[in-house]
Structure 1
Amino acid sequence: MPYVITFFDDPGVIEKKRELRAVHLEYVEKNSSRIIASGGFFPDGDDFPVGGLIILDTENRQGAVEYIENDPFYLHGIFSSYKVNRWKKFVFDHKRVTP
């Protein structure tokens, strides 16, 4: 079952985030078999993310919570809150998905 996880960085963490980015990316790559899609939120005119979205294939909400709470960005205080929502495709790759 897919779950969408969204989060935004806490204020004042950009330098710490730059230092942790490689460790975060390693964590994401290690879990790529569970990730349907992921990416960052970028402010207009900037190329460094300030949050992100993950669509995770997991059995239940707890699996999504465990994934995000073990992300190095969460563990090191880059973001302190997140949202987890169950998700179903409606349109995918520019096409309506049949139920």
Structure 2
Amino acid sequence: MPYMIETFDKPGQHALRLEVRDDHLAYLETHKERLLACGAKLSDDGAHADGGLYLVDCETREQAQALIDDDPFSQAGLFERVVICRWRKAYLNGICHL
């Protein structure tokens, strides 16, 4: 069951994001079987990230919540807000899945 997790960084926390980034990437590597896609949301000039988007394959909302709660970014207190919702895969890589 796909879920979308959108994260919003606390303002002014770019240095914290960079400090924890390697641990975050290592964490994602250990859960890559659940990741349909994920990545940072960037400023228009591409210079700074201020949150992220994760498309994850989890059976329940609670599993999706646990996945983001255990992320080093979350553990470090980077996020101001996290939104989790079920997601329907319609198109992926130019292929319709409906």
What TM bracket, shorter-length normalisation?
over 0.9
RMSD: 1.2
Q: Output the TM-score relative to the length of structure 2.
A: 0.92
Q: Output the TM-score relative to the length of structure 1.
A: 0.91
Determine helix, strand or coil for the equivalent of 1:41.
strand
Q: How does 1:10-89 map to 2 (within 5 A)?
A: 10-89=10-89
Is the 8 Å Cα contact of residues 14 and 49 (structure 2) preserved in structure 1?
Answer: no
Cα shift at 1:68: 0.4
Determine helix, strand or coil for the equivalent of 2:80.
coil
Cα shift at 1:94: 1.8
Unaligned runs of at least 5 residues, structure 1: none
Q: Distance in 1 between matches of 2:22 and 2:79?
A: 16
Moved more, 25-34 or 44-53: 44-53
From the two aligned structures, give the one with the greater strand fraction: 2
Q: Distance in 1 between matches of 2:91 and 2:72?
A: 32
Percent identical? 35
Q: Distance in 1 between matches of 2:69 and 2:59?
A: 16
Cα shift at 1:34: 0.9
